[in-house]
Amino acid sequence: MTLFRSLSSFTSDFQFFVACLDDVTFDIIKRLNIPKLIPIPLIELENKDTELLRAKQSRSLVEYYFTLSPILPLYILNNFKEVDVITYLDADLSFYSHPQPI
């Protein structure tokens, strides 16, 4: 939420997609009911990509989570037709000024 809030303090021109790695995270984000904050449950990503499920069987949990990095943007581009640009950011980042220069 720190990343989302820091970005929100400088601009409102974005959608913020979150890969929810467990049901608790998905439920909490969903209940917040923030229009720009879009939770995507892990099961949804897995249902759309059979290769991802195969990778899950042969990797540790941490390795599997890193495997999701390219999957989430592809999922967004395929399922949210209004999205034409994606910036992938790790959750441990914060904005201290407007993101335009990026």
- pLDDT single digits (tens) 39-93: 999 999 999 888 998 999 999 999 999 999 999 999 999 999 999 999 989 889 9
Q: Count of alpha carbons within 13 Å of 89, Cβ hemisphere only?
A: 20
Query: Is 71 within a domain?
Result: yes
- Per the structure, the complete domain to which residue 72 belongs is given by 2-79
Query: Is 47 within a domain?
Result: yes
Query: What's the total number of domains in the chain?
Result: 1
Query: Is 95 within a domain?
Result: no
**Residue 89 gets which letter from DSSP?**
-
Query: Is 65 within a domain?
Result: yes
Tell me how far apart the alpha carbons of residues 29 and 31 are, in angstroms, rounded to a whole number. Answer: 5
- pLDDT single digits (tens) 48-63: 888 998 999 999 999 9
